[in-house]
DNA sequence: CAGCAGATTGACT
DNA sequence: GTCAATCTGCTGC
């Protein structure tokens, strides 16, 4: 599997990067390989975005890595319980990030089911930013690790017309920035799934 | 099906 | 003390 070059993450247009991460692979290998295909992302545009942890230049031990080199993981604890996985983008000093919100599970289903304490495979196994990290075994300890351990180019081609653009989830506190079209998901899955 | 409480830690409108 | 880039399970229509 090919990992993405640093130049992929180093660009300043976090919205473009968020869209281009759709169709890429997100995997961990803690004993067994687990993961799948990214189908939902959100862009967080640094100091000018009220929904971002780095809004107005806020800098704390928690979000410090957002200001560092691109191509590393920003993982933080949300609501005291869930680890949320972000890709840090833009050149050093610009705290942009892309939140990975959902993947289609493809590898290590049994391991992911047991991590999630589930019996049967369905679309909820890795859908939702907290659910996905639980399934892959990602936690805050992985903050700061290079993304080439996690994100791979699977060679899937995602067409513009297959991307659904909408507003971000759970950021009502962000005022007018809550209306920004910064959430991207796949309109159609390019794998068959049985929901019946 | 909708709606809400609870879990639990870091940052601070 | 309050609220947060969430999920689950329970309640009540």
**Which tens digits make up the pLDDT trace of A157-188?**
999 999 999 999 999 999 999 999 999 999 87
- Checking if the pLDDT of A144 tops 60, the result is yes
pLDDT digits (tens, 9 = 90+) for A3-34: 999 999 999 999 999 999 999 999 999 999 99
pLDDT at A1: 87
A51 touches strand C (CB under 7 A): yes
pLDDT-derived band at A196, boundaries 50, 70, 90:
very low
Nucleotide nearest to A56 (CA to C1'): B13
Q: Output the distance from A58 CA to C5 C1' rounded to whole Å.
A: 16
CA distances from A38 to A6, A27, A49, A185 (A): 19, 10, 23, 9
Please state the separation of Cα A68 from the chain's center in Å.
18
Name the percent of chain A lying above pLDDT 70: 96
Listed as ranges, the nucleotides of chain C within 7 A of a protein C-beta are: 3-8
Strand C contacted by A172 CB (< 7 A): yes
Q: Residue A194: pLDDT above 80?
A: no
At A141, give phi and psi (nearest 5°). -60, -20
């Amino acid at each position: 599997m090919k990992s993405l070059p640093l130049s992929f993450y180093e660009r300043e247009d976090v919205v473009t990067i968020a869209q281009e991460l759709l169709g890429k692979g997100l995997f961990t290998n803690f004993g067994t390989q687990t993961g799948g295909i990214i189908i939902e992302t959100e862009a967080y545009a640094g100091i000018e975005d009220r929904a971002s942890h780095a809004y107005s230049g806020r800098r704390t031990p928690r979000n410090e890595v957002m200001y560092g080199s691109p191509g590393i993981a920003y993982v933080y604890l949300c609501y005291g319980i869930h680890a949320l996985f972000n890709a840090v983008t833009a050149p050093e000093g610009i705290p942009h990030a892309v939140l990975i919100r959902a993947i289609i599970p493809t590898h290590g289903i049994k391991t992911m089911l047991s991590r999630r304490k589930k019996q049967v495979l369905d679309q909820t196994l890795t859908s939702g930013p907290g659910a996905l990290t639980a399934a892959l075994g990602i936690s805050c300890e992985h903050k700061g690790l290079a993304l080439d351990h996690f994100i791979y180019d699977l060679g899937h081609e995602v067409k513009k017309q297959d991307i659904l653009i909408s507003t971000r989830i759970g950021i009502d506190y962000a005022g007018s920035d809550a209306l920004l079209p910064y959430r991207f998901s796949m309109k159609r899955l390019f794998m068959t799934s049985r929901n019946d």
